[in-house]
A and B are shown apart, each in its own frame.
Chain A
Amino acid sequence: MNYDDYQTEGFYDEMFIADGPSAKPRPGARMLVERIESLLNGDLARRQQAAEIALYNMGITFSVYGSEDAEEKIFPFDIIPRIVELKEWQPIEQGLAQRINALNLFLDDIYHDQKIIGDGVVPRDIIESCPAFRRECIGIDPPLGIWCHITGTDLVRDGEGRFFVLEDNLRCPSGVSYVIENRQILKRTFPHVFLASNVRPVDDYCIHLLNALQQLAPHTESPNVVLLTPGPFNSAYYEHAFLAQQMGIELVEGSDLFTQDDCVYMRTTKGPLRVDVIYRRIDDDFIDPLAFRRDSVLGVPGLMSAFRNGRVALANAPGTGVADDKAIYAYVPDIIRYYLGEDPILPNVKTYLCRRDSEREYVLQNLHELVVKPVSESGGYGILVGPHSTKAEREACAERIRANPRNYIAQPTLSLSRAPIIVGDHFEGRHVDLRPFILHGPDPYILPGGLTRVALKKGSLVVNSSQGGGSKDTWVLETEPDKNVSFVDEPVLPPVEHD
């Protein structure tokens, strides 16, 4: 397979620069492209197949609901990595650190003095009407003043290749396990190119994560940290088990925990054992039936009270969802300036708030070229992509906006960057985004690269896995690419090399 017929079609391509009628590889991707083109016919397809079998056997699958014996599928994975050069990555890293720092200060402020509201930067009603704003959290002092310990921020690139923040995920962002597993597979798939490319490692994420979690229980020498999962039927269960295993901590379900005198315990074969830190992967609504949804059977009764009284640390803290509300998103640049006195390093995508009369009118008149999103949904649900929509869909959307303007924002349809994927016996460009993971705390850490999600459907702009998206490994190069190394004359490797 080669890239001779590959077309960038006017989009910003992650791997190629358009060069007249043909395309030439970007400096960081040159070695990889040469390597791929030097493979024998069918070899690349074999490598792709071997990668899929490995994922299947590792059980990185989700079931298609409907019947008891539903087939299990792997999350689609494309073995051609997406390459990010160091000079592109550095501003992203700085921008993310700045943004999360500001959002954490924002959370601490709105659950305490609400100075940002008093100073007129963010309107009170937009916060109080946000479903993810938790009155139960007002006045709580989480350990070390940290609310959002783990964040997954979605970045996109426009037609010129500039990075923008598309949305912040400060609740229970998932996907980091795919980053680590994808990397394991890619190392086996392209070992020589990988080595020569000097790629920043991602394998130590779990070390940093455990360290960040342990720091939340300063009162004890060896804190008992657990990961709280909704259970094996949750679609992200694979990731929960993976992270618990990598950190060497217990994976617990709500029924494994109970509270007594505001302390949290887990049921063990030797009786109750105190729990100090909970990395919870259950949404706020379900973590404590006494505080939030009463019908929740996933949570732990009394957990909020234990948290409020400082007897247990929760990561992320409840109530962080208010900071990734899509209506609040429009204010994040102002939030950064307000708390840090700095200009944002990573820009937002231009956002129209339908709650504002003038912006709503603009949105309603330009639906055909905007992307409309409900503010409190995630996972790509309820999105209208104007240019790809039918007239009936736009009318229904306009109806919904008029009925509940606060619930909608709109953004220009970005011409998202693309990267080549393997389609049958050739390559085609597909739109991608990037979700880096950020650990916020005394030793902040940003996972180099992150999850590259790719819209597998031709022309589609929606990359969410629930909407038919797949993933790619993301290589952040540690050094400038070396022009003298070439793999063209290397002997052909077996389909998968085991280390």
Chain B
Amino acid sequence: MLSRAANAIYWMNRYLERADNVARFINVNLHLMLDLSVETASQWMPLVVTTGGEKYFREHYGDNAATQENVLQFLIYDKNNPNSIASCVRSARENARSVRQSISSEMWETVNKMHLSFRQASADQTHQDAPYDFLEEIKNSGHLFIGLTESTMSNNEAWHWARLGRLLERADQTSRIVDVKYYFVLPTIEYVGMPYDNLHWAALLKSATAFEMYRKRYRRIAPKSVAEFLLLDREFPRSIHYCLVHAEHSLHAITGSPLGTFQNPVEQRLGRLRSDFDFARIEEIIDFGLHEYLDNFQSRLIQVGETIYDDFFAVEPPSQSPTQSQSQSLLPATGEAASQGVSPP
């Protein structure tokens, strides 16, 4: 398919997945804050860090400004924050607009309605105190969009680009939330007994909509098991391992080369990354250092993204001077977000 269209579909899905994750982080944190009621201010900063906007936030809101009000403004409405829900929805819609012919009308209308109701919500300040309904709406629209992708779109190349974008983004988001929560919740992995400890772990799982499935699998909440579930589970659709396996399926469906082989740098990089997760054990990861492991994972995932761009989207004929395309301009926002990944403790 058209490179520009593939690029736009890929990014449209990344942005929608990102908006969904940000909405979920906020929702869970709002509930958690109600339970904790003390030392609350410090508990909003992890969200800023998770979404990769720490530097921008400190510059524009101040060093000790991580109040609920500021962080909600920053994560929901701030149009200059490339990872705010506002920016993600807008970018998703711009991308959707440029590939109207490749996606179904129902998918387009869902993204368009999201954009329109978001605009209305930002104009109408009533949401800002208790944005639960509004965040719920963002999440539901995201789910509706994925459902429509499944039920109205052929499983063709465009569909695989959509899934590839969604799963790579989801793997990235899951790794961020685990990394940050570990850092804030648990200074050392052996540390147990902190007040409200269970609440924190439950919140972490809920951020990834993983709480119920986790309970079915492990029942008892233990830090190591939580990390294992979110990183290595083969069945849970938001675990990093699951995302990588299915992203790789889509990649190979696009290229046509057999799984387990590679014919281009993307297949090599993604395949190698996935196989690391295939054979990893959580004890090894913790011995190595969970943060270091996730940091390394994120850099490799960014490389996969860059290679996708080089191999598929930046197709130039041999004798042609490079031309600027609209969708290329969408890259820096994400590139920036990626490079602002979680900094080491």
Pick the contact of B109 from A57, A250, A267 — CB < 8 Å?
Answer: A57
Pick the contact of B100 from A241, A252, A265 — CB < 8 Å?
Answer: A241
A87-95, A158-166, A255-263, A401-409 - interface stretch:
A255-263
CB distance from A339 to the nearest CB of B (A): 38
- Pair A57/B113 contact, Cβ less than 8 Å: yes
Is B101 interfacial (CB-CB < 8 Å)? Answer: yes
- Type the 1/0 row for A239-276, where 1 means its CB is closer than 8 Å to any CB of B: 00110110011111111101010000111110110000
- Pair B101/A56 contact, Cβ less than 8 Å: no
Number of interface residues of A (CB under 8 A): 31
Q: What is the CA–CA distance of A266 and B316 in the complex, to the nearest angstrom?
A: 10
Q: In chain B, residues 205-251, which have Cβ atoms closer than 8 Å to a Cβ of chain A?
A: none
Q: In chain B, residues 297-329, which have Cβ atoms closer than 8 Å to a Cβ of chain A?
A: 312-313, 315-317, 319-320, 323-326
B1-9, B54-62, B140-148, B179-187 - interface stretch:
B1-9
- Pair B112/A250 contact, Cβ less than 8 Å: no
- Pair B317/A260 contact, Cβ less than 8 Å: yes
Pick the contact of A232 from B5, B98, B254 — CB < 8 Å?
Answer: B98
- Type the 1/0 row for B323-343, where 1 means its CB is closer than 8 Å to any CB of A: 111100000000000000000
Is A144 interfacial (CB-CB < 8 Å)? Answer: no
Q: What is the CA–CA distance of A322 and B263 in the complex, to the nearest angstrom?
A: 53
Is B269 interfacial (CB-CB < 8 Å)? Answer: no
Given A269-B315, A272-B315, A256:B2 Cβ within 8 A = yes
Determine the interface band of chain B, counting residues with CB < 8 A from chain A: 20 to 34
CB distance from A272 to the nearest CB of B (A): 6
Is A231 interfacial (CB-CB < 8 Å)? Answer: yes
Pick the contact of B112 from A59, A231, A232, A266 — CB < 8 Å?
Answer: A59
List chain B residues, Cβ under 8 A from A272: 315, 317
List chain A residues, Cβ under 8 A from B4: 252-253, 255-256, 267
CB distance from A299 to the nearest CB of B (A): 11
List chain B residues, Cβ under 8 A from A258: 317, 320
Chain A contact surface mostly: mixed
- Type the 1/0 row for B63-100, where 1 means its CB is closer than 8 Å to any CB of A: 00000000000000000000000000000001001111
CB distance from A59 to the nearest CB of B (A): 4
Given A242-B100, A268-B315, A269-B254, A232:B2 Cβ within 8 A = no
- Pair B3/A267 contact, Cβ less than 8 Å: yes
List chain A residues, Cβ under 8 A from B254: 269
Pick the contact of B312 from A249, A260, A269 — CB < 8 Å?
Answer: A269
Q: What is the CA–CA distance of A232 and B324 in the complex, to the nearest angstrom?
A: 15
Given A253-B4, A269-B6, A57:B116 Cβ within 8 A = yes
User: Which residue of B6, B315, B317, B319 has the most chain A CB atoms within 10 A of its CB atom?
Assistant: B315
Given A253-B325, A269-B1, A58:B319 Cβ within 8 A = no
Q: What is the CA–CA distance of A269 and B254 in the complex, to the nearest angstrom?
A: 9
- Type the 1/0 row for A35-64, where 1 means its CB is closer than 8 Å to any CB of B: 000000000000000000000111100000
Q: In chain B, residues 125-170, which have Cβ atoms closer than 8 Å to a Cβ of chain A?
A: 157, 161
- Pair A255/B324 contact, Cβ less than 8 Å: yes
- Pair A56/B116 contact, Cβ less than 8 Å: yes
CB distance from B153 to the nearest CB of A (A): 12
Q: What is the CA–CA distance of A232 and B326 in the complex, to the nearest angstrom?
A: 9
List chain A residues, Cβ under 8 A from B119: 69
- Pair B100/A260 contact, Cβ less than 8 Å: no
Given A232-B98, A249-B101, A268:B3 Cβ within 8 A = yes
Is B105 interfacial (CB-CB < 8 Å)? Answer: yes
List chain A residues, Cβ under 8 A from B157: 269
List chain A residues, Cβ under 8 A from B3: 256, 267-269
Report 22 cross-chain contacts, Cβ distance below 8 Å, ordered by A residue: A59-B108, A231-B326, A232-B97, A232-B98, A232-B326, A237-B97, A241-B97, A245-B100, A248-B101, A250-B1, A251-B99, A253-B4, A254-B323, A255-B324, A256-B3, A256-B325, A260-B317, A260-B319, A265-B317, A268-B1, A269-B315, A271-B315
Q: Residues of A at under 8 Å CB distance from B?
A: 56-59, 69, 227, 231-232, 237, 241-242, 244-245, 248-256, 258, 260, 265-269, 271-272
Q: Residues of B at under 8 Å CB distance from A?
A: 1-6, 94, 97-101, 105, 108-109, 112-113, 116, 119, 157, 161, 254, 312-313, 315-317, 319-320, 323-326
Please list the 5 inter-chain residue pairs (A to B) with the smallest Cβ-Cβ separation, ordered nearest first: A241-B100, A244-B101, A267-B315, A245-B101, A251-B101
